[in-house]
Homo-oligomer: A and B are copies of this chain.
Amino acid sequence: MGMKLYDLAGAEPGRRFSPFCWRIKMALAHKGLEFETIPWRYFDKPLIAQYKWDRVPVLVDDGRGVVDSWTIANYLEDTYGARPSLFGGGAGRALARFFNQWTDAVLNGAISRFVALDIWNHLEPRDRDYFRASREARFGTTLEAYCADREARLPAFRQTLEPLRQTFAAQPFLGGESPLYPDYIVFGSFQWARAVSPFALLEAADPVNAWRERLLRAFGGFAREAPGYW
């Protein structure tokens, strides 16, 4: 029996925008594991209540639920150790944690200010009030004000990517000649933006964009085939 992944969706079932779910979809593809995704909206919390969790991704493997993207990635590595490694060994697994924290604390925080209103626009109507209220409380302002002046904030955002850019000047992936889980962590954030926002965060000629395109083409191009803008 293949795996099932509860995957955050917009009003269109195919529009999948969770950066955390993208990490796991790429990790499953890297492992060559078959999986089906189940579109999940914020109001679908009862669907995953049996796993004692209220967010996605939730992976169900042969009836067993595994929650939280970092935990799921480690579960996949430990359970399917004979398949291509997500971490390349113990050192790679330990070092991957910093990428997880950098992406959550720095990259996602920055991208949020470009895409939060676009997310709202793509949600099922039933999800919209919840999303707006919870995010406006967190951000301390309206979604509209939070995402205003995107053009003006773009140079500072691109500067934030400088460590990625300099790395990709030296090697094609964070993992070296081929991608590892840290690549999928960071890539997930760009898939988040791509899924909901026509506002291109990267210049076409940016080495970060060239890396992103390598991952869009990976595994038969399934990340590129997903609905998205750029």
The residues of A with any CB-CB pair to B shorter than 8 Å are: 85, 87-99, 101-102, 104-106, 162-164, 166-167, 170-171, 173-177, 180, 182
Contact = CB atoms under 8 A, between A and B. Distances in A.
Nearest to A180: B91
Contacts of A96: 95
Contacts of A177: 94
A30 to B, nearest CB: 13
Interface residue SS majority, chain A: helix
A73 to B, nearest CB: 14
Contacts of A182: 95, 98
Given A162-B105, A166-B105, A180 B95 contact: yes
A190 to B, nearest CB: 16
18 contacts: A88-B90, A89-B89, A89-B92, A91-B92, A91-B175, A92-B92, A92-B95, A93-B176, A94-B175, A95-B95, A95-B174, A98-B163, A98-B174, A101-B166, A101-B167, A104-B166, A105-B162, A105-B166
